[in-house]
Amino acid sequence: MTENSVSERTDEQHYLSPVPVPAEDAAAPGISRQIYGMPAYLSVPTGDLTASTDFWVRGLGFVELFAVPGQVVHLRRWAFQDVLLVPGEPATAPSAGRIGFSCVLGEIGPTRDRCEQLAPGCTSGPDEKPWNCVELTVVTPERQQVVFTAARPLDPASPTADYLRDSGFDIPQP
């Protein structure tokens, strides 16, 4: 197998991501309540921890993992999708930086609908991207740009598959 082999990346011993293999009907792995050392997380300053928590939970589909009243709210979706809401001044304009979270195709529409119900006009997309995914961008009440990315299954006859094969990835021929 090559260094970039798809089968190597999905080997249970080496592939620890909670993100499912792309498929039109892929199921989300669900909320993770595991306690682990977070490899990465986002801290979002907010002037209203309660209102921010409500949007992230009801709109974006996070759960409140734990909170220290008035100091921090730790939110999570899938494993390794952690956000800390902290007291502070939120941005006055959408953040230049964006945070991306993996999701499955079936989560894009419902997430957009929930967020629009809570804060009309806060979403853009979903947009088909040339890197074989669909993206939904949400600007939260704290002005944080959050991008939900759902990978599409790779069509072996597509130009993307040809490019990956040419780049050394082990992609089956059509």
Q: Using an 8 Å Cβ cutoff, are 113 and 160 in contact?
A: no
Lookup: tokens for 41:
């997380």
Q: What span, in angstroms and rounded, lies between the C-alpha atoms of 83 and 101?
A: 11
Considering the domain boundaries, does residue 167 fall inside one?
no
Considering the domain boundaries, does residue 89 fall inside one?
yes
Read off the CATH number of the domain in which 125 is found: 3.10.180.10
Answer positive or negative: Cα dihedral of 153, 157, 159, 164.
Answer: positive
Considering the domain boundaries, does residue 64 fall inside one?
yes
pLDDT at 16: 66
Considering the domain boundaries, does residue 122 fall inside one?
yes
pLDDT at 117: 98
Domains of the chain: total: 1
Give the pLDDT of the chain (174 residues) as one tens digit per residue: 445 444 444 444 455 677 877 778 888 877 788 787 787 889 999 999 999 999 999 999 999 999 999 999 999 998 889 999 999 988 787 777 789 999 999 999 999 999 999 999 999 999 998 888 999 999 999 999 999 999 988 888 988 888 888 888 888 888
pLDDT at 55: 98
pLDDT at 150: 96
Considering the domain boundaries, does residue 3 fall inside one?
no
Considering the domain boundaries, does residue 11 fall inside one?
no
Considering the domain boundaries, does residue 130 fall inside one?
yes
pTM over 0.85: no
Domain that holds residue 95: 23-30+38-153
